[in-house]
Structure 1
């Protein structure tokens, strides 16, 4: 596949959410994710085996996390020049969902999320170099401000450029990416637990919250579908 073909096959989160047949899946910052409630490790292992036998699965390399009660699957392309979704993930997602249904395994879209650590950086390249060495991470494609775990297990780090320190603000905060249809409930739960809303200026894609001591965190949503879109 040449560069032009690869670029043409890329998908934005909203495009993915608007595609028919992907109701089990949500894009949550780090690719498209689905959680399947297997109920046991043995059923989960059979489901993972079924995924491994899908045609063409080797070329897309889904990330699969098998636990006692469920399996999380993430679809994302990681190359030297791209980090995101492609059109090929649509058919693979449908096939994985079909394999789950064949085993009687239900999906729970509300259970997926990804977490990112964001660092305010005045001297970006020097700060990034330190964290790259400390974490054993690598640069994300086409970004000098993002580091990712090459084994795709640890939370990614984003280095937010600052022209000057902002007073009364923590320099490191957590971004929690949740499904587009779970953001309101997650924010409400955080507020009920003693948090406060700092800013909703970027809603409905991002909200800034703070805990009772002022430590900030963001809730993010990737590409919610339009009101008339089917899933």
Structure 2
């Protein structure tokens, strides 16, 4: 399915519509395909295009399902019928990672502050129950690491575009800190040393960013 890219736990696709009206028609047809329930897609409608994300969020599961594979094919078929091109370069997801020495206490604070909830089976992850805000991951630390920032951003990009994104960040003044897990995970830093991770799921040897 060339329209779709796996980013973190979900699959994403972006379809260029050219107008809000064309996008609304597309979203209506997606709704007729998807129905209700945990497998229904998250859809973001903008005047320029429509982003579709497939990820289930229930009390005991967070991620892709078998139904999502079928649904992705059906959504792509509707896009072709409406002559809406997919643009994989336009998809990404962002996660905030916090280094924590007292994990449960830190998680409790951010859960209350954000109104988030724990991801199913993963108390070190918080997710937005409305699936709008960036997820938070709390990385347990045995001791402080003063050489790096305690909060950083993980950016998930399509695996076939990761190296271009990294090159652009480095051309803009960044530097490569660690590529031990490339081509699935890189650590970069801005000109002042603030770190960020780039994750490329769906390619060879996928590994979670920020972990």
Q: TM-score range by the shorter chain?
A: over 0.9
Matching residue of 2:198: 219
Residues 1:57 and 2:35 aligned together: yes
Matching residue of 1:102: 81
Matching residue of 1:120: 99
> How much does 1:128 deviate?
0.1
CA contact (8 A) 2:7 2:157 kept: yes
> How much does 1:58 deviate?
2.1
Matching residue of 2:184: 205
Deviations 1:177-225 (A, max 9, x none): 0001010000000000000000001111110000000000000011315
What's the RMSD between the two structures over aligned residues?
1.1
Which residue of the other structure, out of 182, 186, 196, is the alignment partner of 2:161? 182
Partners of 2:8 and 2:35 lie apart in 1 by 22
Give structure 1 stretches of 5+ with no counterpart.
Answer: 1-21, 227-231
CA contact (8 A) 1:175 1:219 kept: yes
Query: Larger deviation: 77-86 or 153-162?
Result: 77-86
Q: Residues 110-189 of structure 1 correspond to what in structure 2 (within 5 A)?
A: 110-189=89-168
CA contact (8 A) 1:146 1:156 kept: yes
SS at structure 1 position matched to 2:201: coil
Q: Aligned residues, how many?
A: 204
CA contact (8 A) 2:184 2:204 kept: no
Higher relative contact order (CA 8 A, sep 6+): 1
Q: TM-score, normalised by structure 2?
A: 0.94
Matching residue of 2:209: none
CA contact (8 A) 1:116 1:176 kept: yes
Moved over 4 A (4+): none
Give structure 2 stretches of 5+ with no counterpart.
Answer: 206-211
Residues 1:194 and 2:173 aligned together: yes
Partners of 1:29 and 1:66 lie apart in 2 by 21
